[in-house]
Amino acid sequence: MKVAIIGGGIIGLALGWRLAQRGAETTVFERDAIGRGASYAAAGMLAAGCEAEPGEQALGVLNRESLALWPDFAAELEAATGMEVGLRREGTMLIALNRDDAAKLRHDMEFQKSQGIELEWLTPAEARAREPYLAPQLAGAVFSPDDIQVDNRAATAALAEAFRRAGGVLRERMPVRRIETDGSRARGVVTAEGVHAADVVVLAAGAWSAGFDLPVPLPPVRPIKGQMLSVQMDPEIPLLRHVIWAPRAYLVPRRSGLLVIGATVEERGFDGAMTAGGLYSLLDGAWRALPGIEELAVVETWVGFRPGSRDDAPVLGPSALPGLMFCTGHHRNGILLTPVTAAAMAATILEQKLDPRIAPFGIGRFARVRSAA
């Protein structure tokens, strides 16, 4: 089977790796450099527990299944490439800075525990015993032991290498101009070099997935802008060891001492500008949680575009055009959902039968919503 994947982010690369491992002749086409979109901009939080929300029960099940796959997925990836992916398992703390924050955390915790998620309430003293540099005015915290992190940039680079070693072909800076069809099915992709024939085309282009002209509905995916920055801690005496969710920012420590701070959520299209307001919001939110950051050097600032769908869940599985598959719309869960997305989509493509894990996330759900309305 020949498969063409449009999009060289972490999702497209992981799917390509799984397909190549099973003998499919797979090519990934990326409009820019490999892994420089949302996969590069993310923080790498694997937060299936603390991000669980009412109304997203099906997505929560998928998130938790993928989280359970991550340790073995990371180990396999490191063994295949000799490259570390920075999986850290200290857990995540959600902190409250006042009584209202604490009330919200307790309310959210009740729902999350009803979904079988393991959480622990911490008093201010217990929270500071684990993270002594947190703000002195803590009103409490929730500890989520299963919510861990991975270095998303390292994982994406490792997936590109694993894909190549498995026999996959990477075509960087090779935008797909259109999806080739013969009127009845997808037959490949068209680039500046001409037609690249394929038995299956997978649209995994993230926030750019809605930009193709086809006679069937495309995923209703739009860019959701996020501004982020990083500062440098002393790796021998870091200010943080756990991922911290504060009321107005999250903070993700790396083993190198880098501390990633994110992220704004903005409906601004593909506006790639860092703004004074965005930086102020992030720094103020982080400083209120961790005052010691004011002494740290700023290393990097950046903007990314999350691929958001109408219901914030991914669009996975067949399109209305035979031979065209969708694998996009992961919004804030792209890194988290990488292992299960790759496994389920590879099975769906190669076995020509929809994997039940992704059955709730087909594009048909949007048509059903319109019909009901």
168: pLDDT strictly greater than 60: yes
Cβ atoms of residues 86 and 151 within 8 Å: yes
Q: What is the mean pLDDT of residues 31-57?
A: 95
What local confidence, expressed as pLDDT, does residue 371 receive?
A: 47
48-52, 205-209, 337-341: the lowest-pLDDT one: 48-52
pLDDT in tens, 148-165: 999 999 999 999 999 999
pLDDT in tens, 204-222: 999 999 999 999 999 999 9
pLDDT in tens, 257-276: 999 999 999 999 999 999 99
Q: Long-range CB contacts (< 8 A, 24+ apart) of 279-282?
A: 279/227, 279/229, 281/248, 281/249, 282/227, 282/228, 282/229, 282/249
What local confidence, expressed as pLDDT, does residue 373 receive?
A: 47
**Angle between the 338-351 and 10-21 helix axes, to the nearest 10 degrees?**
50
Q: What is the mean pLDDT of residues 46-67?
A: 95
User: How large a percentage of the chain has pLDDT more than 90?
Assistant: 97
Secondary structure of the chain: what % helix, strand, coil (to 5)? Answer: 35, 25, 40
Q: How far apart are CA 24 and CA 37, in angstroms?
A: 25
pTM for the model stands at 0.96
Residues 131-141 as b or e (16 or more Cβ within 10 Å = b): bebbbeebbbb
3-state SS assignment for residue 250: strand
- Domains recognised in the chain with CATH numbers: 1-80+150-219+310-364 (3.50.50.60), 87-146+220-306 (3.30.9.10)
105: pLDDT strictly greater than 60: yes
Calculate the CA 93 to chain-centre distance.
19
3-state SS assignment for residue 260: strand
253: pLDDT strictly greater than 90: yes
| Residue 331 region by backbone torsions, left for phi larger than 0, else alpha for psi between -120 and 50, else beta | left
55: pLDDT strictly greater than 80: yes
What local confidence, expressed as pLDDT, does residue 368 receive?
A: 65
pLDDT in tens, 228-252: 999 999 999 999 999 999 999 999 9
Q: What is the dihedral of CA 308, 311, 316, 322, to 10 degrees?
A: -100
364: pLDDT strictly greater than 70: yes
What local confidence, expressed as pLDDT, does residue 239 receive?
A: 98
Q: How far apart are CA 182 and CA 123, in angstroms?
A: 64
**Extended strands (E) in 108-240:** 120-122, 140-144, 148-149, 169-171, 178-181, 186-191, 194-197, 200-203, 222-232
370: pLDDT strictly greater than 70: no
Q: Give phi and psi for 65, each to the nearest 5.
A: -65, -40
Q: What is the mean pLDDT of residues 61-81?
A: 98
pLDDT in tens, 111-125: 999 999 999 999 999
What does the angle CA 139 – CA 145 – CA 150 come to, to the nearest 5 degrees?
110
pLDDT in tens, 124-152: 999 999 999 999 999 999 999 999 999 99
Average pLDDT, the chain: 96
What local confidence, expressed as pLDDT, does residue 221 receive?
A: 97
